[in-house]
Structure 1
Amino acid sequence: MQPNALAVSDKFRKMAIRSILSILLFLATYLFLIITAVAIVGLCAWDGYALMTFYPSFVTLMLGAGLISMSLMILFFLIKFIFSTEKKDNSHLVELKAEEQPELFRLIQVVVNEVNTDFPHKVYLSSEVNASVSYVSNFWSMFFPVRKNLQIGMGLLNAVSKTEFKAILAHEFGHFSQRSMRVGSYVYNANMVMYNMLYDSKGYKATLKQWSEASSYFNFFSSIAIWMVTAIQGLLKKIYEIVNINYLALSREMEFHADAAAARVAGSQPMINALLRIELAEQSLGVVFSYYNGKIAEAKKTDNFYPQQYFVMKQRAAAEHFILEDGLPQISADHYRKLNSTKLVLKDQWSSHPSNYDRINALNILNQPERPEAAGIAIDLLSNKEELQKAITFKTFLSVLFPEKATIEGLEIFSSEYTNQPQNVSFPRLYNGYFNKREPYHAFAVDSFKLPEQPEVKDISLLLDDQSVGTLHTLNTMILDLATVERIASGKTAMQTFDYDGRKYTTEECPTLIQSLRYEISTFEEVLDKRDQDIFSYFLHTASEQGKLTPFKKECLDYQTICKAFKVQQQIYLELSNATRFLKITTPFTEIMRNMQRVKTLEQEFIRQLEFILNNSLYESELTDTFKGHLNEYLAKDWKYYDNESYFDLELKMLIQAMTSFYTIIINKYLRQKKTLLEFQAALSENQSMVASA
C-alpha cells in the first residue's frame, strides 16, 4: 500500500475537529464542576468539623458526618468513571491459535502489514454474521495503549469468499491504521466517560441507598446529594448530546475511511459484494436460529447451525434468481437499488453508520482493482471448520433449558421441513417477483367467467416486465417513506431536517409532504390495480382458449375465499395477540381484570373463526391430527383464565397454543392457495407458448 493510501478526507478532518471541540466543551464544564465540588467538599468539611467541635453532641456529630459524606458523594459521582472498567464476557467465544489455524493467521498478517497496524492480541470465533476489532475500554486506555482483539463470526465466514473476507478484515483494521484515525478511539473513550457519568449509575445509586438507610440524618443529606447530582446530570446531558452527535458524525466518516482501506487491500468490488450479501447471510442464519428456537419445546436441536445457514442462503438465492459463483450468491447492485429505491435521505445525526447504498457509491468512486486471494469460501481458511462450527453451536445452546434431554437433528430434517413451509416456497419465474409481496387479483364477480373478453394486453411478459416490478417496488418504498415521514412529523425522532427527492424539508413541512406522498401512493395503486386486472383478464382468456375455464374458475374462487377469510382471521389474531401481551409483564390486579374482559370479548370472534376452519373443506389439508387435537380441546368448553388474583396457567397455555395453531393454519393455507393459483396460471402460459411456437 502506498504511504498516502489511507490519508483522511477533508470531511473526516472537519468532523474530527468538531468532535474535539465538543470534547473540550465537556472538559471545560467538567473542570468547573470538579473545582466546584472540591470547594463544596472543603466548605462542608470545615462546617462539619466546626459543628462537631464547637457544639459537641450526638446530633451535631451525625449532622457533621452527614454534611461531609454528602460532599464526598457528590465528588465521587464526578470521578467514579476512573474506577469503571468495561467487562467483556467471552464465554460464548472460541479462541483461535496461530499454530492451529496457519492459513487464517497468514491472511490476518498480510492484512495487518498492508494496513500498517498491530497484529491483534487474540483472535476469537463467534456465532454471528459479523467481524469486529475490540478492546477492553476504561479511563486509562485514553492515555496508555491497549492491545486489540479480533472477533470473527462463523456466520460471516460461511457467507463470503476469501477475497471478500480479506476486504472485511482490512475494513476492521482500517479503523486503527494511522495516528490520525486514533482520534476516533480517543473520542470514543471520552464518550464512554460521559455515558458512565450520566447513565451507568447502578453501583453509585446502591452505595447512596445504603448510606441513606444507615440513619435518618444521612437520609436527609442523601436527598440533597441526589438533588445536586440530578442537576449536574441535567447540565451534562445537554453537553453530551452535542458531543454524541459529533461523535456519531465522525463514526460515519471513519466507516468510509475503513472502506477505503478495504478497497486498497482487496479491491472495491469484493467489499461491495460482501456488503450486498451480508444481509442475506444474516437473514438466513436468523431463520436457522428461529427454527431451532421453535424446537426447544420438543427437546430438539442441531449440533451444527452452519450447513443449515448455507442451505437457506442458497434457497433464498434461487427464489430471487441470483447466480452462484464459487458457491456464493452474487447480488447485483442494480437489484439492491431496485429494492432500496427510496427518495428519502435521512442525514440522521443519531446514526453511527452510513447506509450500504452510500458505502457502495463511495467504493465505486474509489474504483480500486481487485486483488484476489485463492478461490473458495472463507470458511475453508479454518483447518478444522466442522469441529469449530460444532463448538460454536454447542456454546450457543448452553444457556437453553430443554424440557428433557435434547435429540440432535441434522441438515436433512431441517431442509425437508424448510422446503415444505409455504412461506419458503418460490413462485414461478414467469412472474418476475411481481407477486412475492402482492396478491393476485380477486375482486372479480362470478359472472366474470361466463363470457371472457379479449384481454387488452395479449403478451403476459409485457405485464410482468421489469418496469411493472419496478413500479411495484416504488409503491412499496413510498409506503415505507410515508411511515418514516409521519414518525418525523410526530416528533418521535431527533431529526429536524431531511431530504426527499433532492429537496430539503424541515419538520414543519412534513404535513405538505405527507399529503403529496399519499396522493402519489394512491396514483400508483390505481396503476397497479389496473395491471392486476389485466393479468387476470389474460389468464381468464387463455384458460377459455385452452378449454380449462372450469378448473381456472375453481382456483380463482378458492383463492378469493381464502384470501378474504385470511384478512379477517389475521386481524382477529393480531387483536387477540395484542390483548394478551400484558401476560408477559407485571400488571396491577385491577388492570388484569379489565384486560381479561377484553380478551374474553375478542375470544368470541376467535372461536367463530376456529369453527369456520374446522368445518370448511378448503382447510382440510392443513388440519393435522395435532392441530385438530389442540383446537377441539380448546373449543370443548368456555375456559376461565384468571380469578382471585391468580392466573390459571394450564388454561392460558391452552389459549396460546390454540392461537399459535390457528395462525399457522391460516398463513400456510393462504400461501399454499396463492402458490396453487399462480402455478396453474403459469402452466396456462407455458401451454400457450408451446402452441404459439408449434
Structure 2
Amino acid sequence: MYIQVSEDFKKKSKSAVSAIVVFILIYLLMFLFTIALAVGCIIGGIGLIAVKPMFITIMLGAGLAGTGVFVFFFIIKFLFKKHINDRSFLTEIRRSDEPELFKMIDEIVKEAETDFPKKVYLAYDVNASVFYDSSFWSMFYPIKKNLTIGLGLINTSTKQELKAVLSHEFGHFSQRSMKVGSYVYNVNQIIFNLVNDDESYRNSIEKWSNMSGYFSIFAALALFITNKIQWVLTKMYSFVNIRHMALSREMEFHADEVAANIAGSLALEESLLRMELAHNSYQNVINFYDAKVSKNQASPNIYKEQFFVMNFLAKQSELETQYGLPYVKLSESGLFNKSKLNIENQWASHPSNEDRIIRLRNLNIIKDNESTPAKNLFRDFEKTEEKLTAKLFSRLKYQKERTELNFETFTTEFEEQYNRDSFDKIFNGYYDNKNPDFTVTENSNDNLSFEELFSKDKVELVYTLLALENDKKTIEAIAKKEIILKTFDYDGKKYNSGEAGKLVPQLNDTISEIKQQIHQNDSDIYTYFLKSSAVLNRKNEFENSYRNFEEYDGKYEDKYILYSELINATSFINEKTQFEQIKKNFTNLKPLETKLKNEILPYLENTQVVDDIEEQTLKDLKYYIENELVYFSSDQYITANLQLLITAINILPYFLHKQYFLIKKEFLTVIKDIETIKSVSEPITISTTSNFAP
C-alpha cells in the first residue's frame, strides 16, 4: 500500500530537516570550541604544574584541566544517554495469551507494510500508542517499536474501530516517506535531552567541587561556560521544535489516511468522536475511587464501571446508541469547545478532531464494518479487566485492609453523586459554566418559551463567550511577549506575533456583542420565570430564592478575600524568619484567625456542605475552632497545631465553592419545578421575538 504524502507534508519535512542541519552546524562549531578549550585547559594545567611543581600549582593545574574536560563532556554527554520508557504501568501480553488480537495486528502490519511490534502491552487508559527506547545511535540503525493498547479503549470500541486506531499508530512508521518524520522526532528528543537533562552532569560537577576549595572555583567556571552553551542550545531547540510540531500535524493526517485505507474512514471517525466520552468516563471512575482511598475502598473492575458510566453520561446527554455503544455526532462533540485559536508551533502537534474528521470524510474510504465489541478479541476479557484493575489499585496505599465495592453499590453511589453534584439537564448545560445575570430587570417581552431560552443556540453563545475570553487572554499574552512564538492561526487566518495586539480590539467587539445577546437572554429568562411563578402563585418563592442567590453571589468575593489575606499572613512560615518576628506575625494573625473560625463554623453545621469531608478532618476542624492554639513556643514551631491551622485555611475555599453550588442548585431547582408544573398545566408554544445569532 502506497499513499502519496501531501505538499504540506513535503514542505514541512524540508523545513524540519533544514532546521536540524542548522542545529548540527552550530553544534559542530560548539563542539570544536569545547575541544579547543579542553586541549587548552589541559595544556595550561600541565604547564602550570611544570613551571613550579607544588601543592597549590598541582591543585590549580588539575582544576584548570578539569574545567576543560567537564565542558567537553557536557557537549558529548548525550552520546551515552539512553531514553528508557517507564513500563511499570504496562502489562505485556503474548500471542499465546490473545491469538485473536494478535491476528488483527498481523493484518494491520501486512496491509501497512511495516514490521510487527517488538512487544505488545496493555495499559490502563483510553489510548493506543507506539513507543521505543532511543539513544543517539538509534538514528543510524532501525529500532523495533512496541505497541501499547489501553484497556479503556478496547472496552469502549468495536473491532473495526480498534483496528482503525491501531492502524493509525502503525501508519506513522509504515510509509518510506514517513521515515523523515520519525528521524525528525528522534533528533528532536536528542536535542531536548541535551538541553534539559543535565542532572547527572551537575551532580558530577558538585562532587568534583566538594573535593577541594580549589576545585570549587573551577567548577563554577565550568558551570558558567556550560550555562552559556546551554542558552544557545535552548534557542536552537525552540527553532527545531517549532518545525517539528508543524510536521507532526501533517504526520497525524497522513497516519489517518493509512488507517482509513486499512479500516475505513467511518470507523476512525466514530472512534475519535467517542474517545473523549470514553476517557471522561474512565476518569470519572478513577476520581470516584480517589475519594474512597480514605475509606479503604477499591474497585474489583473499573472497566465494567467505565462502561456503565459512559452509557449513563450518554443517556444524560441524550446521545443515540449504535452497536451497543454511544454514537457521538460531530456537532455534539464540539459543543463545549468553541476556541478559534490555533497556535501551531506551540501546542498543536495534533490537529483537532474536527480537522481530522473533515479530511476523513473527504477520503470517504468504505470498508466492511465488523461492529462486534473489540473486547470479544480476548479469550476472557473480564478476567483481564480484573487483573489490570487489581494491578492499578495495588499502587495505592491504604491505612487498613481494603474492601471492594460491588457493582450495584458503585452504580447507586455514582448516580447519587452525579445527581447531587450536577444541575438538572432541563437547562441543557446553560448554567454549568455561568450564573444568572443579577443586573437584569423584568422586560415587556411576553412571547417567550422555555425551549427557546435554553436552546442549543443559547447554550452555544455561553461557550463561545468562554472560548473568546480565553482566546483573548492568550492573544494578549502573545502581544506582551509572555508567550514567544512566530505565527499563530485565528479563525482560519494566519497572523504573526506582531499582529496579536491588533486582533484584541476585534475580539473585544465580538465579546461585547455576544455578552449583550446573553444579557438579553438572561433578561428574558428572568421575565419568563417571574411571570410564570406569578401565574402559579409561587412568585414569593421564586423571588426569595433569586435574592438569596444574588446575596451570596455579592458576598462571595469578599469572603474569598479572607482566604487570600490568610495565605499572605502565613507565608512567613515557609520562609527564614527571626524568632521575634515570628511571634509578632502570629499576634497579627489573631484577628484574621477569629474571622476564619466564625466563617467556618456555620459550614461545619451544614451536613450538605461537609458530606464529602473525611470524619477525622471534621474532628480536627472542630478542635481547632474550640481551642486557642499556640503555634510557636521555645523558639520552634508546634507542628501539630500549625497543621490544624493550615487545614482550616485550605478548607475555606472548598466550603465557599460548595455553598455557592448548593445555593445555585437550590435556585435552579425552584425554577425547574415552576417550569415542570407550568408545562403540565398549559403548554407554551409561542416562540421568542428576540433575534439572537447562534
Of residues 133, 137, 147, the one that matches 1:136 is 133
Name the SS for the 1:434 alignment partner.
coil
Report 1:187-206 matches (<5 A): 187-206=184-203
For the pair 1:182 / 2:175, whether they are aligned, the reply is no
Residues in 2 aligned to 1:63 and 1:606: alpha-carbon distance in whole angstroms: 61
Please state how far the C-alpha of 1:590 moved relative to its aligned partner: 3.1
Of residues 456, 461, 474, the one that matches 1:466 is 456
What letter is aligned with 2:36? A
CA contact (8 A) 1:421 1:668 kept: no
Which residue pairs with 1:335 in the alignment?
Answer: 332
Please state how far the C-alpha of 1:589 moved relative to its aligned partner: 3.8
For the pair 1:158 / 2:155, whether they are aligned, the reply is yes
CA contact (8 A) 2:120 2:147 kept: yes
For the pair 1:386 / 2:373, whether they are aligned, the reply is no
CA contact (8 A) 2:448 2:524 kept: no
Which residue pairs with 1:397 in the alignment?
Answer: 393
Which residue pairs with 1:557 in the alignment?
Answer: 544
What letter is aligned with 1:28? L
Which residue pairs with 2:350 in the alignment?
Answer: 353
Check 1:239–1:477 CA distance in 2 against 1; reply closer, same or farther (3 A cut).
Answer: closer
For the pair 1:411 / 2:407, whether they are aligned, the reply is yes
CA contact (8 A) 2:621 2:648 kept: no
For the pair 1:662 / 2:649, whether they are aligned, the reply is no
CA contact (8 A) 1:44 1:68 kept: yes
Residues in 2 aligned to 1:661 and 1:17: alpha-carbon distance in whole angstroms: 52
Residues in 1 aligned to 2:297 and 2:121: alpha-carbon distance in whole angstroms: 28
Residues in 2 aligned to 1:21 and 1:661: alpha-carbon distance in whole angstroms: 52
Which residue pairs with 2:275 in the alignment?
Answer: 278
Please state how far the C-alpha of 1:395 moved relative to its aligned partner: 2.3
CA contact (8 A) 2:545 2:667 kept: no
Please state how far the C-alpha of 1:673 moved relative to its aligned partner: 0.9
CA contact (8 A) 1:456 1:534 kept: no
For the pair 1:43 / 2:6, whether they are aligned, the reply is no
Please state how far the C-alpha of 1:119 moved relative to its aligned partner: 0.8
Return the TM-score normalized by structure 1.
0.87
Check 1:600–1:307 CA distance in 2 against 1; reply closer, same or farther (3 A cut).
Answer: farther
For the pair 1:72 / 2:31, whether they are aligned, the reply is no
Q: Deviation per CA, 1:365-411, whole angstroms, max 9, x where unpaired? A: 222224422x2332332222222222222222233222222222233
Q: Deviation per CA, 1:482-515, whole angstroms, max 9, x where unpaired? A: 2322332333212344344455545454445334
Check 1:210–1:9 CA distance in 2 against 1; reply closer, same or farther (3 A cut).
Answer: same
What letter is aligned with 1:460? F
Please state how far the C-alpha of 1:595 moved relative to its aligned partner: 8.4
Name the SS for the 2:82 alignment partner.
coil
Q: Which moved more, 1:644-653 or 1:72-81?
A: 644-653
Q: Deviation per CA, 1:330-377, whole angstroms, max 9, x where unpaired? A: 22111234433333343344532222222222222222224422x233
CA contact (8 A) 1:171 1:258 kept: yes
Residues in 2 aligned to 1:26 and 1:658: alpha-carbon distance in whole angstroms: 51
Which residue pairs with 1:61 in the alignment?
Answer: 58
Please state how far the C-alpha of 1:675 moved relative to its aligned partner: 4.4
Which residue pairs with 1:651 in the alignment?
Answer: 644
What letter is aligned with 2:380? N
CA contact (8 A) 1:542 1:688 kept: no
Which segments of 5 or more consecutive residues in structure 2 lack a partner in the other structure? 687-694
What letter is aligned with 2:410? F
Q: Which moved more, 1:115-124 or 1:20-29?
A: 20-29
Q: Which moved more, 1:645-654 or 1:391-400?
A: 645-654
Which residue pairs with 1:587 in the alignment?
Answer: 574
RMSD across aligned positions (CA):
3.4
Q: Which moved more, 1:404-413 or 1:90-99?
A: 404-413
Q: Which moved more, 1:507-516 or 1:652-661?
A: 652-661
Residues in 2 aligned to 1:126 and 1:583: alpha-carbon distance in whole angstroms: 43
Residues in 1 aligned to 2:418 and 2:557: alpha-carbon distance in whole angstroms: 16
CA contact (8 A) 1:630 1:657 kept: no
Please state how far the C-alpha of 1:555 moved relative to its aligned partner: 4.4
Please state how far the C-alpha of 1:195 moved relative to its aligned partner: 1.9
What letter is aligned with 1:480? N
Please state how far the C-alpha of 1:200 moved relative to its aligned partner: 0.8
Name the SS for the 2:174 alignment partner.
coil
Which residue pairs with 2:95 in the alignment?
Answer: 98
Residues in 1 aligned to 2:38 and 2:621: alpha-carbon distance in whole angstroms: 70
What letter is aligned with 2:388? I
Check 1:186–1:585 CA distance in 2 against 1; reply closer, same or farther (3 A cut).
Answer: farther
Which residue pairs with 2:690 in the alignment?
Answer: none
Of residues 164, 168, 180, the one that matches 1:167 is 164
Which residue pairs with 1:521 in the alignment?
Answer: 511
Q: Which moved more, 1:637-646 or 1:185-194?
A: 637-646
For the pair 1:475 / 2:465, whether they are aligned, the reply is yes
Please state how far the C-alpha of 1:634 moved relative to its aligned partner: 4.5
Aligned residue pairs total 677
Name the SS for the 1:133 alignment partner.
strand
Please state how far the C-alpha of 1:631 moved relative to its aligned partner: 6.1
CA contact (8 A) 1:562 1:669 kept: no
CA contact (8 A) 1:66 1:218 kept: yes
Please state how far the C-alpha of 1:678 moved relative to its aligned partner: 3.9
Q: Deviation per CA, 1:143-171, whole angstroms, max 9, x where unpaired? A: 12211111111222222222211111011
What letter is aligned with 1:565? Y
Check 1:159–1:596 CA distance in 2 against 1; reply closer, same or farther (3 A cut).
Answer: farther
Q: Deviation per CA, 1:113-162, whole angstroms, max 9, x where unpaired? A: 11111111111111112111000111121112211111111222222222
Name the SS for the 1:469 alignment partner.
helix
CA contact (8 A) 1:634 1:654 kept: no
CA contact (8 A) 2:82 2:135 kept: yes
For the pair 1:682 / 2:675, whether they are aligned, the reply is yes
Name the SS for the 1:151 alignment partner.
strand
Please state how far the C-alpha of 1:598 moved relative to its aligned partner: 8.6
Report 1:306-321 matches (<5 A): 306-321=303-318
For the pair 1:298 / 2:295, whether they are aligned, the reply is yes
What letter is aligned with 1:513? L
Q: Which moved more, 1:642-651 or 1:580-589?
A: 580-589
Please state how far the C-alpha of 1:172 moved relative to its aligned partner: 0.5
Residues in 2 aligned to 1:351 and 1:400: alpha-carbon distance in whole angstroms: 34
Residues in 2 aligned to 1:147 and 1:583: alpha-carbon distance in whole angstroms: 54
Please state how far the C-alpha of 1:59 moved relative to its aligned partner: 3.4
What letter is aligned with 2:524? D
Return the TM-score normalized by structure 2.
0.87
Q: Deviation per CA, 1:628-658, whole angstroms, max 9, x where unpaired? A: 8676555424445556442325523752685
